[in-house]
Structure formats: C-alpha cells, structure tokens
Structure 1
Amino acid sequence: MSDLLRLATAGSVDDGKSTLVGRLLYDTKSVLADTLDAVHRASADRGLTTPDLSLLVDGLRSEREQGITIDVAYRYFATPRRSFVLADTPGHVQYTRNTVTGASTAQLGVLLVDARKGVVEQTRRHAAVLALLGVPRLVLAVNKIDLVDYDQVTFSRIAKEFTAHATALGFPEDAVLEIPVSALAGDNVVERSANTPWYSGPTLLEHLETVPVEPDPHDAPFRFPVQYVIRPRTPEHPDYRGYAGQVASGTVRVGDEIAVLPGGLRSTVERIDTADGPLAEAVAGQSVTLLLAHELDISRGDLIATSANPPRVTDEFDATVCWLSDKPLRPGARVLVKHGTRTVQAIVTQLRTRFDEQRLASTENPESLRLNEIGQVAVRTAEPVPVDDYTRDRRTGAFLVIDTADGGTLAAGLVGAPLPELDGAADDTDSHALVSPGP
C-alpha cells in the first residue's frame, strides 16, 4: 500500500466542506498552535463559543469575509498509517476551473452533500469532472446528518441516488463509499459516532487510511517535458549542457536511450543531476537535470521520452474539454494549446459532442460549449505536438486551452478521453439519454 494519498474535496455551496476539512485537520492534531489560536480569536470576534474550523482552510481574506472557498487550498497532514495531500476546492459554479485543478492529480475524491438537500446539480457536475479526470475512487460525505436527526432513511435515499449516478459515469460500485457525517459535531469524521448505530462502515479517516491507492506511474513510459536549458559557461563547467524539468511519468536511468520530441532526435542519458548530487535513476515527480551523450538542439517545450515507447507526434487529435470561460466555444475558434511546457497555436475544428452531466445525455454536433459544459472536440495545432491519450498517461494526456487575446484559461482538455458510455440509451432527434430527466 502506498504511504501517500492525494485527495480532493468538492461540494456545493454551504454544504460544510471547509468545516469538514478543518475538522479532519483538527481531530488529527495537524494544526499548529499559533494557527489554532488565530482561529479561536477570529471565532470569538464573530461571537462564537466554539472554534469555526472552516477558518483552518479558508485562508484568503476574501474567503473569510464571504464565508466561501474561492481558491484551491492545499493541506498536508499525516497519521501513523499514511500521509495525505488534500486539495480543498471551491463549491461555487464559477470556480469549477479550480475544482479541475485540484482534482487533476487526486487519487480519491470526497464529495459533500447537505443531508437536508441531497444530491444537487453541483454534486452531479463535480462527479462528472472527477470521472473525466480519471479519479479512481469516490467518497460521498452526507454532511449535517445531525440536522435530519441522524435519519437512516434519508441517508439511504441519498446514497442510493448518488451511487446510481456515479456508476453511470463509469465508477465501479466498490469504488464508491457513502458515509454519514457531521463536520460540526465530528460524527464519523475521525471518531465513530454513537448517533448512527445503523451505519457499520468506516469513519472518513479510517477509509482514507486504508483505501487502496494507485501507485505513481513509475512503470509508465518515461516522459520529461523540458523546462529550461542550463548552460553555465563557467571555467569549471565549460561544456555543461543540461536539460532541467520534472519527470512527468515513468523512470529514467543513466544509459537509457531516449528520443527528443517532436523532432525525433535520439541520444542516451549520460548523467542525472540534482541539487544534492547525481543520481543513477529518477522517477515520476522528481525534478532533475538530464545530460545527454550528444549535443542536440533542445529547448523549452521539447519532450524527452523513452525511445522504446514514445508518445505519438501529431497536429490533429480528439479531446474531451471542460469549458471554463464565459465566452462560448464555437467551431473554428482560434486558441492556444499549452501541453506540458510547450504552447502552440491551434484551431478547434469541430464540436463533436456535448455531454449533459445532469441528465447523463449527449448531444451530437452542438453549436457551442458554454461555461462548465463538457464536450468532445477535434483540435488541429499549428505544429506537431507529442501527446499520449489521457487514459494512458494523465500527465502528458492533459492540456490547457488559452485565450489568444488575454492569456486567460478557457478550458481543461484531456487527449482522447472518452465521455461516459451511454450504451442502451434511448435515442431521440438530438440526444441519447441514459436516465430520465424526471418530470
């Protein structure tokens, strides 16, 4: 089992997500004394008799003043069994782009719902985003269970509805767990609650400590986006030429044969340097400098990859995008595509499908994609780029779509990532619905 779990939390506004994260940090004694003192003072200033644990997460002044989460807040904590990197993402619809960012590297997603409201539109949207990003496991925390008198029927109804939606998105049933919690009172967050004798599953922390974790893709094909070329030109290093960056996936060893893409030049790895000295090998997540046996024309934006199993180099590919801009996307849009450390001009030549994550339905050849809508598109780039399918490599299968006018982020894209299968869906003139939208 891995000793590190990366997780992301998401939920609709006022579902108590920040309080849940604060409770998790507080009850695992992962809060520094001065931070806790500041929270006590801020809570007292608001007239509260108990600490407002959401303040442990909502660090920006604008977040504290508005009582909402705006940015992604990363928190690090540990128990004797496992270490955790937690990305607390916003609940507001307009900050969905930040949810995509926080969940992009997550191995597990924790979605919150208010027990009084159940599964809502934003819950379904977040579940769809997590499914498209390839997050392998989900927890539904049915929060504020104390406000419905710890009612088992209410919990079971919400759990059943969410499981049906999650499995329709492609999550296996055994990858989805529902837990009744009260973040404010602490029920089933770290300690098991006597108020839910009908619940026999683990607490949230117990599940986080024991859930199987997919390992980092050290055995995936080696991928290394070049961030910087190091040429010190000093008397001590007159011929030094190193290529700095972070190993995106796989493992590289001294002596490995590599290809430099998109050009296709080949060489072997002669040295692997770090600030702490040379290494015999480097794995995914490590920042290193590679020195090659041959002097090649390599610059920022190139990708160094294993020559035995390189990515495909292409100027046309299909992708799934989550549109994150108020400006609609229409066929023929000219954009920038940022893939790894390379940014190229591109055209979205076709909108193939728009996916409705609420009804679990698809519309063919839509006229546009609007804010927070998900769809499949065809992209043509002005120059070839080395890409992997997202299902093969999450690091080199992802890209950003950028506005050519102001540099703003328009969309998050996944190369070749399929939308949920809608097998057996009923057909009509423009969509294929998996479930009825209801009355």
Structure 2
Amino acid sequence: MAVDPDVLMLQAVKMYTTTLRVQAHFLGMVHDFMMRKWTQNSCEQRVRAIRNALKEKLKRSREMFEAERRADLRCRRRRRLLLVSQFALVSDRKMWRRERPHGPVFWSNVLNNFDEDEWRGHFRMSRATFDFVLELVEPQLRRKTTNWRQPLEPRLRLAIALWWYATPCEYRSISCIFGVGVATVCVLVRQVTGALSRALSKRFVQLPSGARLQEAMHGFAERGYPMCAGAIHGTHIPIRPPPEDPLAYSNQKGWHSIVLQAVVDHNQCFTDVYVGWPGRTHDAQVLANSPISRKAEDQGGYLFPREKSKTVNGVEIPVHLIGDQAYPLRNWLMKGFTNHHLFDQRQQSFNLRLNSARMVVENALRRLKGRWRCLAKRLDICTSFVSDVVVACCVLHNICEINKEHFLPEWNTELPDLPEEPERVANQDAQAQSHQAIREAIMSLL
C-alpha cells in the first residue's frame, strides 16, 4: 500500500514540533532553577558580608573601650598616688573625718579638770580603778595607726563605753558629748563589752573555792546562817520587744525583759551569772537549765566539795546556796518554810535568819542597776547583745566592790519610767520532802 509523502511530512513536522516544545520547557525549568540558586547564593553572601562587617566594627569598639578604660585607670591611679603623697604631708587629716571641735575639748577637760568626785559621778569609779580596768582591756582595745586615720586611744574608748553603761544616754547624745560618730559609739560599746564579758568574766565571776570558799562560809555564818557559800536571786532586765516571739519576753507586769539569775557571796560580789531567758520564764525553770544546776546534779547533788560538808544528828549538811520561795529545795539549795500560818518558833527563826543572809543578793542587784543605769532602763539594742552587756556590768560591779569603791545613794534614785519588778512566784516542788531533813538539821545549828 502506497504512503502519501505529504502525510509523512506532516507527521514528521508534528513530531519535530513536539520535541522542540519539550526541549523548550526543559530549558525553561533549568533556567528558573539556576536563577533561584544564584539569587539564594547572592543573599547568603550579602548576609555573610554584613555579619563580618558588624563583627569587625564590634571588635574595634571593644578595643577602643578597653583602651579608654586602661587609660582612665592609669589616670585614677596617678591621682590616687598624688593624693596619698599629699595626704602624708598633712597632719590634721581633715578630709578623712567630720570636724567635731567640741569633742576633743570635752575629753581634754575631763582628763585635766575633773576632780575625783566628778570622775566617780560620771564613770562610777575612781581614776585608780579606771586605770586598773584600762590595763586589763587595753590589749583588746588598741588599734594600729595607719596612713588613713589616727585611731582613738583605748582610754577614750573605755570612757565612752562606761559613760553609756552608767547613764541613760542614747548613742546620739554620747556622740555629741565626745565628738565621735553615732556608729563609732555603737562599735566602741560592743568592743568594750566583748573585752569585759569574754576576757574578764572567768577571772572576776566564778564560784568560790579553796580559801575563798572558806571565807564566804565564814561571812554568811557571821550573818547568822551557817554552811552557806552564796545567795541566789533573779531579776528582770528591760529590753525592747524582739521581732521573734515577743510574747515569750513579756513578763507578768506586761513589759518585755530577759531574766538574770545571779549568785552573790557575802561581799555582794557576783560569783555566777546566768542571763538570757525570756521574761515569761519561771525562775525554777531558769535554774534547772543553768550551768550551776547541771554541775550540782552531775556531782551527785553537791555544788561545792563534799569534804566541806558537816554531819548533824546523823544528817549530812553540804555547803549550799540559799534562795527565796521561787526556787526548789535541793541538797545544794535551801529556802525558807512556807505556810506562814503553820509556823512554829523554830521555823520562824530559820526563815528570819535565811532571809537576812539572803539580802546580800538583793542589795548586790540593787547596786548593780544603780551603778550601771543602762540595766535599769529599756535596752534598745539587739536582744542577743543584752546578755553580753549584763555580764560586762557584773564584771565591772565586782571590780568596783573588790576595790572598795564608794556607792553613792543618789545612784539608786528611781528613774521616772523605771518598770516595776515582777512578783516572785513560789515554786511547787514535789521533791522538797526528800530534802527537808537537811533543813531540819540546819535549824538545830541556829
């Protein structure tokens, strides 16, 4: 069968045309892909170039900042060295402290013009006793002299602290009197208090032993009560309400306080002080947690050497303390009879003699608060620091009593706002029956 050439030519042209279209479409796709690839690469290059430029600029900025900082430090260092070199040539150091012209003048007047009565009235002790205390605490109060400041002398530091102990003045008032900063007064009081309460308490406040124990027993025997080495009593020290658990520090009279438990010998010197319990705590509980109670219980009920004990009618009478009705009856602690309406003549005589001998501790506490008036008013200081202040005042009290310092009657004049002391609550002791034999034996000695 014959094939028409025109038909064949037409079919060939169609096939060729289709091939060209396919090729053109393919080439278009390749072109679009290449254009998109080139555009992406171009954007990445631009971003990379911008990032590198920013890094270079940041690096140059940092280098310039560090250079300027080093130059500023060198300039400050040169100015500081110049200032120090000029300061070393200046004797008054005016730029390092606030001028208080009245302070040095007042202290110079105290040292040069105060007579013995004025000195005792302001510092509660004579110049000789003041110098004795200064000698004891001077190593703890001395500070090194530097190129920056001349430190206060130990004598002035001690005088500022004693002024605060002895008067109801606040830090600001003492600052104006002595010409020092308010913060300086606070620091000095803490320094002197720490030196007295830590370094000297073990030396001047300790239970009697040896010859001192025998002397104490003889002193109480002369007061009419035998076999006694000390009298114990408690008092309240007014404080400001603490931020933590203020209700526990509110005593029976409604004001906040901490309890001072004190043992005193026949010379009205403190032989043991235990302070810090909240004012609401009963005296018997304070005693039960005190070191002397633990010491007596650890030694089988003997606070003092058992060799000093005395046997009367088959009953051993140990050397003991005496207290009021707020304390329990123990082998090492005697108190008077209760139930006054059932007293016989012997019991009444025993109570009179015990209370007469026990007055030494009440007199000592009265003299303590009279001499150091900071304990008679509310102490507006940290509650944890009050205990150190009380111990320091007890140390100073003993030093004054040992050196036979005069106690002026006007020191005991009550302050208008002096709080009333809480009443002593009698202790109901279930173990009192087991210790009454010793009290009966003591009555036979009277």
Task: Write 1 or 2 for the structure with the bigger share of helix.
Answer: 2
Higher relative contact order (CA 8 A, sep 6+): 2
Q: TM-score, normalized by length of structure 2? A: 0.20
Q: TM-score, normalized by length of structure 1? A: 0.20
